[in-house]
Amino acid sequence: MSVIAFIGLGKMGLPMAQRLAGAGHDVRGVELNPVAAAEAELAGIRIHSTAVEAAEHADAVITMLPTGAHVRELLTGPDGLFARASAHTLFLDSSTIDVDSAKEFHVLAAARGLRFVDAPVSGGVGKAAAGTLTFMIGGTDEDYARAKVFVEPMAAKIVHTGAGGTGQAAKIVNNMIFGICLAATCEGLLLAERLDLAPDVFYDIAVSSSGENFALREWYPAPGVVAAAPSSHDYAPGFTSTLLLKDLSLALQAGAGTDTSLDTARAVHTLYTRMVEDGAGGYDCTALLPALAGRLGERTAAAAHRP
Ligand code: NAD
């Protein structure tokens, strides 16, 4: 059994922490939002009032926070966890953040003799609860080997992506490709509809044709065809438009930093910027289809604001 401080018990963090507790680890939770903290306590996660207290003598500190700025505030700086941690503790950041910040955290940790891996995940809330996430881990061979033991109860697949920062690189590239495929699928479905093609008929064809992709197969954006897709549940998120926009922004930032023109990703980024600016950031990302069609209705809007 290990002592694991788990910081950020939101939509992903809570089910991940529950998997670790279920595997017999001593999980110390930290969550700033009192509603989420109360939910975590009800779910059996012991809540500590400060991250410093939770991290004391911990074998691992796992962060699952909204953005790189949140991770930076927690780990770095004079009162951050890096300033107080012992060399024994392994830091795993599973948040999706920019590659440059992840690389910087590796450097800052190493300068203090600490161990850090970037360990973002793919799979969403359902796979977090089932313990079947994919982990992409950037860091040294030795730190990867240690990290693997901690993430096993949460994962169906664990990949050592290479040096520090490559975990985030894998995550950002994957989600950029997903976003492009989703936007292409939404535009295609709108065109199909206007050409009088029934969505279920088109699904039947496309799912076994060259237009097939994850967003089309699993998260079909037209309602009533794929029962488990958010579109069949009033576009209740799932994966919000705001989070996809964040990931597309991270991809464009990485593109700018590597002189890589990402014209398609930029176009999709514009579509989701518009959605978020129109107050639709809480919709599932597949609600791009009704947004493009100009019919984000009241039923859908109500679903977007469900907790
Ligand atoms: P979320 O907003 O539901 O959870 C983040 C939690 O962190 C919030 O509850 C917030 O109160 C808490 N928090 C912020 N700062 C804190 C601090 N200093 N100390 C303690 N708690 C703090 O977000 P989420 O959907 O769980 O996503 C978390 C991360 O995982 C994001 O980086 C996201 O991009 C990534 N991700 C999300 C999904 C998904 O499907 N939701 C999938 C893969 C990766």
CA atoms of 268 and 271, how far apart (whole Å): 5
**Average pLDDT in the chain:** 95
pLDDT in tens, 226-254: 999 999 999 998 889 999 999 999 999 99
pLDDT of residue 306: 45
Instruction: Judge whether 177 and 115 are in contact, CB under 8 Å.
Output: no
Q: What is the number of the ligand 1 atom nearest to the C-alpha of 122?
A: 43
Which of 65, 97, 241, when mutated, tests ligand 1's pocket best, judged by the most ligand atoms within 8 Å of its CB? 65
Query: Which residue has a Cα nearest atom 34 of ligand 1?
Result: 96
307 pLDDT band (50/70/90 cuts)?
Answer: very low
Is the Cβ atom of 124 under 6 angstroms away from ligand 1?
yes
| Inter-residue contact 242 to 305 (CB < 8 Å) | no
Give the model's pLDDT for residue 77.
84
3-state secondary structure of 81: helix
Q: Is the CB of 11 under 6 A from ligand 1?
A: yes
Q: What would the pLDDT profile of 35-64 be if each residue is shown by its tens digit?
A: 999 999 999 999 999 999 999 999 999 999
> Which residue has a Cα nearest atom 9 of ligand 1?
10
In tens, the pLDDT along 182-221 reads 999 999 999 999 999 999 999 999 999 999 999 999 999 9
CA atoms within 13 A on the CB side of 123: 24
Q: Which atom of ligand 1 is nearest to the CA of 30?
A: 20
pTM for this entry? 0.93
How much of the chain exceeds pLDDT 90, in percent? 93
